[in-house]
Amino acid sequence: MAAARRTLIRTSVDLARAATSWRRSLSSRSLPVDETASSGERRRGTSDELRRRIFNSSWSTTSVLRNWVNQGRKVSASELRLVSRLLIKRRRFKQALEILTWMEAQDSSAMSASDYAIRSELTVKIHGSKVAEEYFEKLHSSISKKASCLPLLHFYVKERDTEKAEALMLKMNRLGFAVTTQPFNEMMKLYMATSQYTKVPSVILQMKHNNIPLNVLSYNLWMSACGELNGASSVEIVYNEMFNDPHVGVGWSSLCTLANIYLKSGLTHKAILVLELAEKKLSKDNRLAYFFIITMYTSLNNKEGVHRLWEASKGVKERMTCANYMCMVSSLVKLGEIKDAEGVFEEWEGQCRTYDVRVPNILLGAYARSGLMGKAESLCLRILERGGVPNYKTWEILMEGWVRT
């Protein structure tokens, strides 16, 4: 056994060195890429030229635009808008912000509500909330202020800054900006994330008082809060209201929210019945929902449901992802179905384009916990033979298994 381990470690080191050498050789042969060359983004004439300069210049985007105009050339707001969106798509946020800042400085009347929202979002992302708040305070028109509120609120929610979020929400109410569902949903997400469940029903009451329509997310958050506060009975009241709301359709996400509350309340039979209803709401265009329900059936120790959803998920149009296989292998391992997990793993191996070591690591962990170190070592050798590169988790699992045995 010890000799096998030494062979395993030597083999892995040799293959890791070979992989590193191969990557370096690829890197040395790589060719320069023109980032503006994708077919859907190219236009002829001066628009193409400006885009090339912005994408390829070592100068700041502001300097490129200034020089362009100083040469007597014109640029339209729509063209600037397009380039900024392309930069965002490539995660070049600083350049995108420079374009919108320059555009606003040249002619603020050309800025749309969407432009202001994106500019505010980029400002928060790059410079933080303080600079974004200063920018918000300098805005004068109601259109620009209203558009800039939501990105700022979203940032506060993400940071779980209740004080600033509530202050901004009060300001939005005072200015008459809180007239859509989204800011109220943001506040409810914040209260759920910070365990302030009692505040969620208050938000719902405010929405109803102001005739703000509830959407699916509103009802889901409301049900979750009621589940934390009063249990399943109060959640059923909210669900019935949602079911009778002619403007909202009860989909798989709402049924899963209800099933999860039943699960937490120990109402297993009810949870399974609701999940079976959720299955009927699934679409052949969205595989995520299938795996969400698979994880719930796993929590309910319902093997039949897990297998049924796995087979049904294969009918979805899009390609099965590595994350999907990880979810299924993990679920089967939790259910003690090691042989079936091995079958799913082999299926993944047969179609994977990149050998993601996280998938076999799940099976490796199951072997190590069960004391099957022979199978664990064989699987690790198999990973290396297939071109996989073990990560720290791989070695951690093996070390813990060796120590345990």
| Phi, psi (degrees; rounded to nearest 5) at 23 | -60, -40
Cβ count near 288 (within 10 Å): 15
Residues 6+ apart with CB under 8 A from 194: 160, 162
Residues 6+ apart with CB under 8 A from 114: 147
Does residue 296 belong to any structural domain of this protein? yes
Residue burial 173-196, b: 16+ Cβ < 10 Å; e: rest = eeeebbeeeebbbbbbbbbbeeee
> 298 to each of 37, 198, 339, 362, how far by Cα in Å?
46, 30, 16, 15
For the chain, the farthest-separated pair of C-alpha atoms sits apart, in whole angstroms, at: 78
The answer on 257 and 245 residing in a single domain is no
Indicate the residue among 190, 218, 250 that finishes a domain.
Answer: 250
Q: Are the C-beta atoms of residues 376 and 398 closer than 8 Å to each other?
A: yes
The answer on 174 and 185 residing in a single domain is no
How far apart (Å, rounded) are the C-alpha atoms in residues 28 and 26? Answer: 5
Number of helices followed by number of strands (H, E) in the chain: 22, 0
Indicate the residue among 318, 341, 367 that finishes a domain.
Answer: 318
The answer on 210 and 312 residing in a single domain is no
What's the pLDDT at 1? 52
Q: Are the C-beta atoms of residues 70 and 102 closer than 8 Å to each other?
A: no
Question: Residue 201's closest CA among 177, 213, 219?
Answer: 219
In total, how many domains does the chain have? Answer: 3
How far apart (Å, rounded) are the C-alpha atoms in residues 359 and 364? Answer: 9
What's the pLDDT at 73? 87
- Could you say which DSSP state residue 160 is in? T
Instruction: Domain of residue 291: give its range.
Output: 251-318
How far apart (Å, rounded) are the C-alpha atoms in residues 52 and 43? Answer: 11
Task: Give the 3-state secondary structure of residue 395.
Answer: helix
For residue 393, what are its two tokens? 């988790």
The residue assigned the tokens 């009621």 is 226
Q: Are the C-beta atoms of residues 98 and 61 closer than 8 Å to each other?
A: yes
The answer on 154 and 223 residing in a single domain is no
The answer on 127 and 105 residing in a single domain is yes
Question: Residue 280's closest CA among 304, 260, 250?
Answer: 250
Cβ count near 81 (within 10 Å): 19
How far apart (Å, rounded) are the C-alpha atoms in residues 95 and 82? Answer: 13
Sign of the four-CA dihedral 194, 195, 199, 205: positive
The answer on 265 and 205 residing in a single domain is no
**Alpha helices, DSSP H only, in 179-321?**
181-193, 199-209, 216-230, 232-243, 252-264, 268-279, 288-299, 303-313
Indicate the residue among 227, 250, 273 that finishes a domain.
Answer: 250
The secondary structure of the chain in percent helix, strand, coil, rounded to multiples of 5, reads 75, 0, 25
> 378 to each of 4, 357, 375, 382, 385, how far by Cα in Å?
10, 14, 5, 6, 10
What's the pLDDT at 97? 95
pTM above 0.85, yes or no: no
The answer on 67 and 167 residing in a single domain is yes
Single-letter amino acid, residue 241: E
> 34 to each of 54, 56, 262, 307, how far by Cα in Å?
12, 8, 54, 46
The answer on 206 and 102 residing in a single domain is no
What's the pLDDT at 317? 84
The answer on 186 and 171 residing in a single domain is no
The answer on 234 and 141 residing in a single domain is no
Does residue 383 belong to any structural domain of this protein? no
The one-digit pLDDT tens for each residue of the chain (405 residues) are: 555 455 444 544 443 443 444 333 323 332 222 333 444 444 444 578 888 899 988 889 999 999 998 988 888 889 999 999 999 999 999 999 999 999 999 988 889 999 999 999 999 999 999 999 999 999 988 899 999 999 999 999 999 999 999 999 999 999 899 889 999 999 999 999 999 999 999 999 999 999 999 999 999 999 999 999 998 999 999 999 999 999 999 999 999 999 999 999 999 999 999 999 999 999 988 899 999 999 999 999 999 999 999 999 999 988 899 999 999 999 999 999 999 999 999 999 999 889 999 999 999 999 999 999 999 999 999 999 999 999 999 999 999 999 988
For residue 360, what are its two tokens? 């076999």
Residue burial 135-148, b: 16+ Cβ < 10 Å; e: rest = bbeebeeeebbbbb
Q: What is the CATH number of the domain that holds 274?
A: 1.25.40
Question: Residue 216's closest CA among 153, 271, 258?
Answer: 258
What's the pLDDT at 318? 84
Residue burial 353-387, b: 16+ Cβ < 10 Å; e: rest = eebbbebbbbbbbbbbeeebbebbbebbeebbeee
The answer on 158 and 92 residing in a single domain is yes
Does residue 143 belong to any structural domain of this protein? yes
Does residue 37 belong to any structural domain of this protein? no
The answer on 161 and 129 residing in a single domain is yes
Does residue 121 belong to any structural domain of this protein? yes
Does residue 16 belong to any structural domain of this protein? no
Does residue 352 belong to any structural domain of this protein? no
Does residue 324 belong to any structural domain of this protein? no
